[in-house]
Structure 1
């Protein structure tokens, strides 16, 4: 409880509130996803999505408070009104759109398998038949594996960091993850030595991965909160703030819509 209170203090922004939105906009994050959202050594929440949330709240003149949850707890918390929005690298997919609404996309990310460089396994359903693939529970990656890698052993984890630990320890043959999270959260670190991306970008399969990453919200809030978030995102894209945030964290472009 103390850590969540400290994190909330790190993002709360003063400002006037509007009648059509809550006095405090509670934004759900899932930590452990460097460089998108993680807890720093000072106990504060930081990362690309955290900075973007701050910029959105400033633009909307809205007081915002972060709520830290496991990824698979975000949608239930939104629908039960424990939070008001989600910023946790959540893909905009038809399945999720049945439950909630989304803003326009704010970034686009490839999806890759990570394996040992000496694994000599083909990154395909046939090549990974009977093999152990780790995935974060509640993500679209989990549903993709269930549909496309039916003959593999899919092991589900509360966080992606736990999957990386088991991959390093040899308890997994591969893990499926957003490529940026894998690059910054594992491959660029000492523990990622001897591992690499293998196979194609599965994120191009729109029937599973949708049309990018957006802010999740309740359908009933589309005309109010949704309109304000989209207007703020358009402004941040137009004035260069979104690209500047991209360049602060990445050496490649994640925010320009694919053509």
Structure 2
């Protein structure tokens, strides 16, 4: 082979290697438990779901080497602030309370919070309908904050769970009367189990439920936040976001 060609090939390979080496590694925290259709491990232990595809798309656009790092949900913010992970992509809502501790990217989806019950329960998603009922909810979530504020004490008994799946299973078994969570997470559950149904969305409370879901970031990590913001805007504009989303949803999950 011509010496000049060999030299050119070698130089090209060195350039690719240098580019790969220069890519910023970002440890992305996701909840360790399955949260379909957003994140869940497959039979081989590889993480799949809509948010994993979102992560892959924004990280490719931002030229970031993103590594999925499972963390227990109730410890995911401490993991971020203690530098064990660099970002959270785990359906974390942007709320004023969380923004006291961490920063967020621009939102990347926004869906309502709903109540699910056994079929034909007659329960409505409000204080009157949930009076004297047992409500299941995952700890360290906006839904826990909401039910505690709006349905706690004199209205209903609140039962807390470490994972959403545990709450779902207790509803299916009749150990709680209702559960509250994101509409898409519960939609996946009720479609997979004929026991239960979504009875409606709760009344919005922006102070608790927030303004959509964003990438959680450490305070002051402005450069990384801007990389995510630019990438989110770009994949929305170039059609990438819509393309991978259509395999999961028949509407625009981005919301209002």
TM class by smaller structure: 0.7 to 0.9
Q: What CA deviation, in whole Å up to 9, does each residue of 1:155-174 have, x standing for no partner?
A: 11111001011111110100
Pair 1:134-2:136 in alignment: yes
Normalised to the residue count of structure 2, the TM-score between the two structures is 0.87
Deviation of the 1:221 alpha carbon: 0.1
- Taking the aligned partners of 1:90 and 1:148, their CA distance within structure 2 comes to 20
Aligned to 2:199: 198
- Segments of 5+ residues of structure 2 without an aligned counterpart are 1-18
Quick check: 2:172–2:195 contact (8 Å CA) kept in 1? Answer: no
Q: Which residue of the other structure, out of 191, 197, 214, is the alignment partner of 1:188?
A: 191
Q: What CA deviation, in whole Å up to 9, does each residue of 1:38-70 have, x standing for no partner?
A: 011222100111111111221122211111112
Structure-to-structure mapping, 1:6-85, within 5 angstroms: 15-17=20-22, 23-30=24-31, 31-85=33-87
- Taking the aligned partners of 1:98 and 1:132, their CA distance within structure 2 comes to 31
Count of aligned residue pairs for this structure pair: 235
What RMSD, in angstroms, separates the aligned Cα atoms of the two structures?
1.5
Q: What CA deviation, in whole Å up to 9, does each residue of 1:146-202 have, x standing for no partner?
A: 100022111111110010111111101000010100111x1111xx21311113344
* Secondary structure of the corresponding residue to residue 156 of structure 1: strand
Q: What CA deviation, in whole Å up to 9, does each residue of 1:212-248 have, x standing for no partner?
A: 11000011102x1011111111111111111112212
Q: Which residue of the other structure, out of 176, 190, 204, is the alignment partner of 1:172?
A: 176
- Segments of 5+ residues of structure 1 without an aligned counterpart are 1-13
Quick check: 1:17–1:63 contact (8 Å CA) kept in 2? Answer: no
Normalised to the residue count of structure 1, the TM-score between the two structures is 0.86
Aligned to 1:161: 165
Q: Which residue of the other structure, out of 75, 100, 103, is the alignment partner of 1:101?
A: 103
Quick check: 2:116–2:180 contact (8 Å CA) kept in 1? Answer: yes
Quick check: 1:16–1:61 contact (8 Å CA) kept in 2? Answer: no
